[in-house]
Amino acid sequence: MFRTMLAKAAFLDRDGVINRAVVHDGKPFAPESVDAMEVLPGVPEALDRLRAAGYALVVVTNQPDIARGTTTWEVVNGIHARMRDALGLDDIRVCPHDDADDCPCRKPRPGLLLQAPHYDMPSSVMIGDRWRDIEAGRAAGCGVTILVDYGYDEAPPRDPDARVGSLAAAVEWLLQRHAAG
């Protein structure tokens, strides 16, 4: 009898980790159009390093502006098509709901991370820029949570494994940690 080994994943928040978030009054928001989406410096190289280290690259993103009627699936899908073409992501998982919808896939709940295909969660990492990301990673059983800390005007997450200034710094910390341990 053979057992299939589950792959490990790098779960990545979208706005603020992969692309530049639009910040208003200390709070991050999604870009309003495909043309406004800007991949952050160092992201392609950081993703290449994660891929080389054996991680599946899975974007997990709350997009409540769909439920609020301030953006469309067309815009969100256009941004994701551009990301897939430029970055070679393995999967992009979207929760289009607002908090009032009480959706199990809306971070901080773990639903987006636990959708099929399934990954080896204790070997996986969640990298995000908000408390919701860190809590979702913990709730899903990720072995590591890393906060890309922009000092947003909101409650900080409790005890991420690391606080860094960029995805590149998160990947460096993660790969050094694994090399040492």
The per-residue b/e assignment along 99-137, b for 16 or more CB within 10 angstroms, e otherwise, is: eeeebebbbbbbbbbbeeeebebebbbbbbbbbbbbbbb
Tokens for 76?
Answer: 């969100």
Tokens linked to 41: 């410096």
Catalytic residue among 15, 133, 149, 161: 15
Selected catalytic residue, list 13, 129, 133, 161: 13
Q: Does residue 129 carry a catalytic annotation?
A: no
Tokens of 34: 């495909």
Active site residue 13: yes
> How many Å apart are CA 109 and CA 24, to the nearest integer?
25
The catalytic residue positions are 13, 15
